[in-house]
Every structure is written in C-alpha cells, then in structure tokens.
Amino acid sequence: MDEQHANSHYSPSRFRTPDGAPTDIVVFTITSEVKKGVKKSLPNRTLRVMLIRRKQWPFEGQWALPGGFTRETETVQACARRELLEETGVSDVHLEYFNVYSSLGRDPRGWMISHAFFALVQEGYLAGRTTSDEASEVHLFPVDEALSMALAFDHRIILQDALDQIRRKMLTTAIAKEFLPEQFTISELYQVIRTVVPTFEERNFIRKITSTRSRKGILEEVLDRNGQPLMSNRYSQRPAQLYRFTDYAPELSIYG
C-alpha cells in the first residue's frame, strides 16, 4: 500500500490520512399526479428526494442519502456515477458536484471527507425502484418532508445546500430541461420552475420567454415536417405550441 511513498521527501505520509472519501448523492425528481375527477388538466407536481434506510451502524434504521466510498481506481465523479447506477439503476442523467463536507465528527466511523452531488432524474427513470410502499428501503420523499426528518450524518445540511443550489440553477441555467421531455409547452416549463422555486412568479411568462429579441432564443418553437407549428393537447383542451431548449446560454450580470 505504501509503495508509492518510497521517496524520502514525502513528508505528509507521516501524518494521519483520511479514513475514506465517500460521496453523497441528492437525487431529485418531480412526480406528477393527475387531478382526479377533472378532465384534461395540468398535473400536480411535487419535488422529491430519494432516501435510503440504513441497514447497519452507524445511524442504523435512519434515512440517509444514497452514496458510497470512492475507490482508488476512480475519481469522485466516477464514484458518484457508479453509486447512482447501483442504487437507482439510472445513467446518463444530470449529475453535478456541489460541495465538500468535512466537519469533525460528522461520521462516527472516522475521518471522512464527503463529496456531495445532486442528480436530476425524470420520474419515469426510477420506475420500480421506488414503490410507494412505505416499508421499502428506498423512498421518494417530498423535499419539505425530508428536511423535517432526522436524517443520518449531516445529510439534512447537505440536502438543504443541494436544494439551494438547484433553486439558483433553475433560474440561472436551463436545468429545467432535466425535468421535462425534449418537447414541452410553456405551461409545463412554468410548472416545473414553480415546483422547484415556489416563489417564482411571472404574470406574463409566455410573453417574456417567447419574445425572441430579449431572450435571444433560450427556447425555439418545434415545427413538424411541413414547417408548421407542432402543438400538444396532452394537458389542455386547446392545443399548445411545443417548444424545446436551444443551446443558447445567456450571460447573466448584475451590472447590465
């Protein structure tokens, strides 16, 4: 294990080294329920986070974020991607590093420096793994509910930080697309934003987002083969124009 430390100039090996570099992954998803008894209407959407009930010490029986220990053969990003695949079965989703947690005593097993990621996953991708069975070892909790629970380790803090991050990014980047199909209506987009950031409110949302000049084209209209506007009536009587995100990322500034 110490073959790489042969060089006598290497002083840090005289000190204690970390007992592990785990990753913690905050998996967010938005679930949709159709309003019952109503005709075609927009679904009720809920921002949820995936938690796993721990089976062993420490924090046995408590809910915790999924994650695991980084191996010497992988980067922390690769570890997060591997753990996400192992625990949820999903790959090719938005997975982003956001902070490190190293407070003393955060893990009774020893000196653990944890790297926290958030993942944004479509509800459909998690099919089967997260039944509504409350006795399950894996469950999707509404974020508000999860924040009020006694989670393992410092996972409540990590969850809160992750939530702050995706709220900021929801308004300043196009990550809303991670919760939407490739083609969507303006109302769907608005609903997704509001589900993550309840304080967001724009009366004339459709005006602003579709006024090409100012937004410079964050969205573009979807056209069919004949160049005609493509509409959807999935959530409404009257068909609505479908849009998709472009690659354009506007630069934000407080100065102009």
Residue with tokens 């294990």: 1
Distances (CA, A) of 238 to 185, 235, 241: 12, 9, 10
Closest-CA residue to 30 (of 191, 202, 235, 201)? 191
Catalytic residue among 60, 137, 145, 221: 137
Q: Is residue 122 part of the contact set for DNA (CB under 7 A)?
A: no
Query: Rg of the chain's alpha carbons, rounded to an integer?
Result: 22
Q: Is residue 237 part of the contact set for DNA (CB under 7 A)?
A: yes
The entry of DNA, its own copies, none that residue 135 binds, CB within 5 to 8 Å by partner kind:
none
Residue 223: DSSP 8-state:
B
Span 42-71, contacts to its own copies by CB under 8 A: 56-58, 69-71
- Binding to DNA by CB under 7 A, coded x per residue (else -) over 149-188, reads ------------------------------------xxx-
Among 64, 147, 209, 230, binds its own copies (CB under 8 A): 209
Q: Is residue 102 part of the contact set for its own copies (CB under 8 A)?
A: yes
Identify whether 137 is a catalytic site residue. Answer: yes
Residue with tokens 């509910």: 145
Distances (CA, A) of 235 to 34, 210, 239: 10, 20, 8
Q: What is the DSSP string of 173-193?
A: SSGGGGGS-SSB-HHHHHHHH
CB 253 → DNA: shortest distance, Å?
A: 10
Stretch that binds its own copies, among 108-116, 119-127, 148-156, 230-238 (CB under 8 A): 108-116
Pairing of strands 243-245, 138-142: unpaired
Cα 256 to Cα 244: distance, rounded to the nearest angstrom: 27
Residue numbers at the binding site for its own copies (CB under 8 A): 1, 4-5, 7, 9-10, 12-13, 15-22, 56-58, 69-77, 97, 99-100, 102-104, 108-111, 113, 115, 171-174, 193, 200, 202, 205, 208-209, 215, 218, 250-256
Active site residues: 137
